[in-house]
Every structure is written in structure tokens, then in C-alpha cells.
Chain A
């Protein structure tokens, strides 16, 4: 990919030849990239384009296979993350990280740079640091005011809402008085009201002379506030320039808006303003056949239904607040909504990966709310989680074998059937799944779930992190599955494509069903267009404790 240079005289961050790949997957491959000083630069691109990996590499949280990068002319290649931060290049994380056990105020006070009291030698001499501490406290208070967190200052950070956590994170980053901020999806999970705030803050900070690079999927935000946009696809910058320029670049539209897919025949696609318009128009030109609704059709007795489902990761802050939805036989039903609306959580609750604190889940007529996930699977439910959806150390064949675990006798037949659907897997049968490329992984994940021919299949973002081609493939597989009589409940960040192939859809907002309708209607609904622009994929918050602790199989 040819270097993308900017006209800016001063370069804040310069990368050259930075490469990093995971097993079969090339995550980052940046020839040349320059982030201009004092500007608000947006880094966009589909999921898995390597945006976050790039952040990790630059800030020293991940090693690069090759390449060098410098910060205001100072070579910081391979520098320890904490040194990078001290050099003034401070990042935030995609999954908000707050120190739950600390108060909001302490979260900020911690962040202040160059604290003498943090030196062991001085820690026991309050006299040596009390003044500085007081100064920091004032700055912290000011920031809290600015980010409307002042009233929460003495609450443990654990009590903050998702949006407030975002704010806290930005505030905390500012507390370090950085020269440049790297914000990883600062708007993800922030409700519309706060969104405006955050964006305003970013602009204000830029005006104060701070350099900001932020990853964002919310095109409105990107278009609205950024001075400079860089688009990444499969780890490589494919466009850079003003928002308008980038939005108009066909490559970007293809890669990011992922239009090149089968759209429903005669789907009336609205034409939103700006880049999506281009996307939309291109989309509508493409004509493909929507999966035939099989006998019984969407109006038959639901094969899967959830009523007033309340669930989440900790009971005091449920993410789903009473969601009701159902899937008819042979239906493809889409769940769309903004980041943090609870899409993946809904699937998890339905699958039984997380317990429901209230409401019921039914498979057919059977109430399965109390059953463990493997029991629901035995009753014909199939579930493909979003990330970590294959067994990395098992071979492809073994992965498939696990798919039909409950009915070993059907192994041969299902194997042949599925391999017919996914011929690409046939010659990788002996490879450990961990070595597959992203696309192959997704196919394998789908294949594994289709081994037993489930009555209903729950798909969590089958196209996440896939190249346009692979995305297309994924969606074709989903349609194929549906044609083979499997009902599908699908969560997608790529709402357009998703709705295009769905019979019906639900739009989630703040853990509730905001609106519902047929795929076509929703696709036409301006509110959906708004949402779909804002949609990104999100992962459940996982903390180190969980990963250390023995897995809970209950």
C-alpha cells in the first residue's frame, strides 16, 4: 500500500513499515502513516481492520513483527508502554477500564503524572507531596466538573454507567497532561445525549492544541468533528484525507460500508446524507434473492421466544431490561442497535451463557430458562459466539466433531454435509483452528454450529472482522442455512447487509426493544439508518479476575 502523506508540517506520530500478524491472519500492515500535530484525526475501518492492534503496537502493549514509529520525531519503537505514556502519548481502551474499587476522584488523582508521592522514598513523607496532591486534586475536580462527573466524585467507579465510564476514561487520560491522545471508540456505548458532550469535549481539546487520534465507527461523529480521517482495511491504510475525501473514496465505501452483498429484491433503501448515500445507492443497485421463507413461514409457532428477559454480567446493573422477541420457523431475524445496546448480551442470555434474572426463554413450547447452555443445545439450539468461537488447539476436524458431540452416530453424514457447504475447510481438516485465517475461522464456527442441524441458530456478528469478500461469503452461508430450514437469530454490526437478508428485525436501545418490523421496513426507517451508522460491535466486559478464576460451568 503506497504511503499516505499529509500536508501538515508537524507530524505528531509517524509510522513506517509496521507489520504484525497473528497466525494466519495479517492484523496490521502499515507502509507509511502520519498523524498531524494539533488535529483531530479519526481512524476508521471495519471490525478487525487492525485499528486497535495498531493502537496497542504504537503504545507498547503489543510487539510488532517489523517497522518503526516515532512520536514528535522521537523514536519510540518497541518502547515499554509506561514509558510511551510518560512520553506524552496516552491511550484509552476499547473496553472501558475503570479501577472499580477506587473512587472516581482517586481514578483521576492516580493518573496525574510525575507524582512525588508515588516514589517509595517519599511516600512516607506526606510533607513532600501533599502540596502537589492538593494541586492534582484541584485539577481533578475541574476535570470532573467539565465532564459532569463532579457529583459522583466520591462514589466507587464501579457504580458509573457505561457512558460515564467513557467520560471518566477520557478525563483520566487528560489528567496525565498528554501531548497526544489515542482514544479507542470514545463514543461506544455512550447514549446520544452524552455523545454530543464527548464530541464537543474532543473539539475543545483539539482547540486547546491537543493532538487526538480516535477510533470510531459513528460516521456522524467522524464526519462531524474530525479534521483528518484515515481508513484502515485488513490492517492497511486505504485512504486518508478530509472526511469528505475519504467518504467519497470507493475503496472506503466498499471496505467499510460493506455494500457488495445480496440485498433483498426491491428493498426500499433510504438514502441518508453523505457517504452512506453512496453506499445506499450502490447497495440498491445490487439485486439478489432473499432466502425463500420455507413452509410454515414467519407466522408459524415461534421456535424460539424470549419474554421480558432481564440479564447482564452483574445483577445490580442488568444490561437487558426486559427484552421480548421471537423467531418463527425458517425465519432469519436480525438484532441491530448501537454499541452497548445489549445485542450480544441478548444472544448470550437466550443461549444460556449468562443467567437470566427475570423473564423466560422458550424453545418451541419448552421453557428452558433454568437449563444450562449444553442442555439447550441438546434441545436444538445452536450458538456461535462472536469472538473465541472455535477451539484453537483442536484441529478443524475435531472442531466439527465437537459440533456433533451429542449425536456421534451422525458424525460421518453431518461431516460430509457441512463440508459440502464449506468446501474451503476440506483441505484444512488437519490444521489446528488457531492457525486459520479470520474468514476460515468464521466458516468453521458456522460449520461447527450447523453440524447437528439446529432448529434455531444464534449468530453473533458472523461478519465481524472479515474482508468484504469473506463477509459476503458469511452472509451467503447464513442464507443457505436458513434455506436448509434452520431459523436464525443474528446480531450484526453490518446492519444494512444483515437486514437485507432478514425477514424481520429488532432494534435494541439501552437494553430494550426500541422498534421492530420486517427487514425491508427497518432498512427504510430513518431511525434505523441513524442507528446503523452508529453501530459498532462490542464485546462483553471481561476482567482479569474471570480469566484467572476457574471457569464456572453452571
Chain B
């Protein structure tokens, strides 16, 4: 199977990206029947922003899965952690948000590294299977989430800066400076990650490890260190995702838990283990969610995102950009 699907995927890549864009465009067009073009454009823009945040938060989950096979249900807690850490620095210590964000990212990296080092590496040595590991991650999520609730308490809070901004308008579509920044930051981070994985020696080592850990070791790659790196990357990006998510949607103890399902949906739908997939999946989830509100009750907006997920998984289990390779 491997070679067949890989080459197939390769050959189809450009076409596939086009298909995704077409699908999104089509959805938008279809929605235009129910709403004005401006509304559609606005919804698509909002969706894109939310989608990119999802991708940013989820790409780590996706890489961790690719390199270790673990589905980390505690990933949402990285998101919360980042947001809370930034909030503490910004509001309690009075640091400017930009600096606070930096701290959050570093903190996220540290958190990611420490869970890998403290929990997952020993478990792998232990030979704990995929499902048991998933259950551990569920336990870890419950543990961390309630720790946040314990110390941060239940109320949601806002940062000290950028809470309310003047929107720019162009052709009736409005855009907030912070949203633009959010999108740019997310895109930049994801692009950087993509380039890192494609070009840099270490990045290639990550992909090599995802491809075949044993052979990587045979090439002198310390796969344990690679996995550690992936975890800290994942933690850092998720934390950053949390920071930008909270810009519009406030900091709360369970914010990560709330977006987790969408994050999982996004990266899975896009294809696990690929940055491209995370972006595509995130965008689809985000845009579908927003567009659906133009013609369906908004309390159902997530239903359509999830339906998209199920549909795509049934027809293409490895996701849009995924390789069938890992199937076993």
C-alpha cells in the first residue's frame, strides 16, 4: 500500500489544495443564496480567523500523533495554559501583552517538554498501548483542567490591552486590527513550522521519525530528543493559539476543553501529521462553522463542522492531505 498511496498523494497534492479551496468557495457561493455577499464574505473572513487559530492550536497535536501515534486529549489544556499564563503576565504582572505572549509560548514549550519527559516517555518505555495512553491523556486533561479551575477560578477574564478595538471597514466587510494580527501570527507560525519541517535538518529528522522511528535511529537520530522537540513545539504553538484565541474570546479555565473537539476535527480532517492538513482542516472547520450560521440556527453551528468531519473521514479515512501509510 505505502508506495502506492504515497505517490498517489504526491501526485494529487496541488489538485487537492485546489479542491479544498473550491469546496470552501462553493460552500460560500451556496450560502450566498441565503445571505448577502457581504455577509458571506464577512463570515468567511471570521471563519478563516477562527480556523487559523484552530490550526495553530492543533498542529502540535497532529505532529505528536504522527511521531508517537498518541492522540493527546490533553492538548486543549496547553491552549488554556498559554492563555492563562499570558493573562497572569499581562494583568497581574502588568507586562505588555506581546511580552506576555512570548512568556506564554516559552511556558507552553516547557509544559509540552515536561509532560513528554515526565509522563509519555516513561509510558512508552513501559510499552503502554495506544488506547491506555489515550485514557492517560484523558486523565491528564481532567487533572490539569481542574487545577486551572482551582487556581484561576471559574470566571472568564480579558486581557488589559486590545480588548476593544476600532474595526476597519472595506466594502462593508469589517476587520479588527487584532484579528488581522491574529491571522498573520498564525499564518507566520504555521508557515515557519512548515519550512522548518521541510528545509531544516532537524525538521527533516522530525519527518523521518514520523516516517520510521527505527530507521531514524539507524541514521543516528536520537528519536527521543526529536519527540521531546515535537512536544515542546506542540505545547508552544498551542499556547500561542490560546493567547490569540483569548484576544477575542476571553480567558477561561475550560477554553481549551471547549475548542478541543473542533481542534481534533480540524487536524484529523486535514490529515494528521501535515502542516498543510492542519491549515486546510482548520479553515474548513472555521468557515463551515461561520457560514452555517447564515442559514441555520447558530446553536447548531458546530454540528455542521462535525458533519463535515465525519463525511470526509468516511470517504477519505486518512484526511485530505494525510498519507494512508500509518494505517495498520
- Mutual binders A and B: yes
User: Interface of A with B (CB < 8 Å)?
Assistant: 21-25, 351-353, 372-375, 377-378, 382-385, 388-394, 398, 401-403, 405-406, 408, 432, 434-435, 448-449, 452, 544-545, 547-554
Return the contact of B7 from the options A385, A432, A544, A549 (Cβ within 8 A): A432
Cβ–Cβ < 8 Å partners of B210 in chain A: 393
**Main SS at interface, chain B:** helix
Return the contact of A398 from the options B1, B204, B221 (Cβ within 8 A): B204
User: Interface of B with A (CB < 8 Å)?
Assistant: 1-4, 6-7, 10, 68-70, 120, 124-125, 127-130, 133, 201, 204-205, 207-208, 210-224, 227, 323, 325, 328
Return the contact of B215 from the options A23, A389, A544, A553 (Cβ within 8 A): A389
Pair B223/A22 contact, Cβ less than 8 Å: no
A550 to B230, CA, bound (A): 14
Pair A402/B224 contact, Cβ less than 8 Å: no
24 A–B pairs (Cβ distance < 8 Å), ordered by A: A23-B2, A352-B217, A373-B218, A374-B216, A374-B217, A374-B219, A377-B219, A393-B211, A393-B325, A394-B208, A398-B207, A402-B216, A408-B201, A432-B6, A434-B7, A435-B3, A435-B6, A544-B328, A548-B130, A549-B128, A550-B124, A551-B68, A551-B223, A553-B217
Return the contact of B3 from the options A372, A374, A434, A551 (Cβ within 8 A): A434
Given the known inter-chain contacts A394-B211, A550-B70, A550-B130, please indicate yes or no for A383 contacting B204, CB distance below 8 A. no
Pair B124/A553 contact, Cβ less than 8 Å: yes
Pair B69/A550 contact, Cβ less than 8 Å: yes
Pair A22/B69 contact, Cβ less than 8 Å: no
* A448 to B: closest C-beta gap in Å: 7
Return the contact of A23 from the options B6, B208, B217 (Cβ within 8 A): B6
Pair A548/B69 contact, Cβ less than 8 Å: yes
A372 to B130, CA, bound (A): 23
Pair A383/B218 contact, Cβ less than 8 Å: yes
* B168 to A: closest C-beta gap in Å: 42
Q: Which 10 residue pairs are nearest across A and B when measured between Cβ atoms?
A: A23-B3, A547-B328, A434-B6, A377-B220, A553-B223, A551-B213, A373-B217, A550-B69, A406-B220, A391-B211
* A60 to B: closest C-beta gap in Å: 15
Return the contact of B127 from the options A23, A394, A435, A552 (Cβ within 8 A): A552
Cβ–Cβ < 8 Å partners of B130 in chain A: 548-550
Pair B215/A435 contact, Cβ less than 8 Å: no
* A234 to B: closest C-beta gap in Å: 16
Cβ–Cβ < 8 Å partners of B133 in chain A: 550
Cβ–Cβ < 8 Å partners of A406 in chain B: 220
List the A residue with the shortest CB-CB distance to B213. A551
A406 to B221, CA, bound (A): 7
A390 to B222, CA, bound (A): 17
Pair B211/A551 contact, Cβ less than 8 Å: no
Cβ–Cβ < 8 Å partners of A448 in chain B: 219
Cβ–Cβ < 8 Å partners of B219 in chain A: 374, 377, 402-403, 405, 448
* B175 to A: closest C-beta gap in Å: 37
Cβ–Cβ < 8 Å partners of A388 in chain B: 212, 214-215
* B323 to A: closest C-beta gap in Å: 6
Pair B125/A23 contact, Cβ less than 8 Å: no
* A355 to B: closest C-beta gap in Å: 11
* A13 to B: closest C-beta gap in Å: 24
Pair A392/B325 contact, Cβ less than 8 Å: yes
Cβ–Cβ < 8 Å partners of B10 in chain A: 432, 435
Pair B217/A552 contact, Cβ less than 8 Å: no
* B308 to A: closest C-beta gap in Å: 26
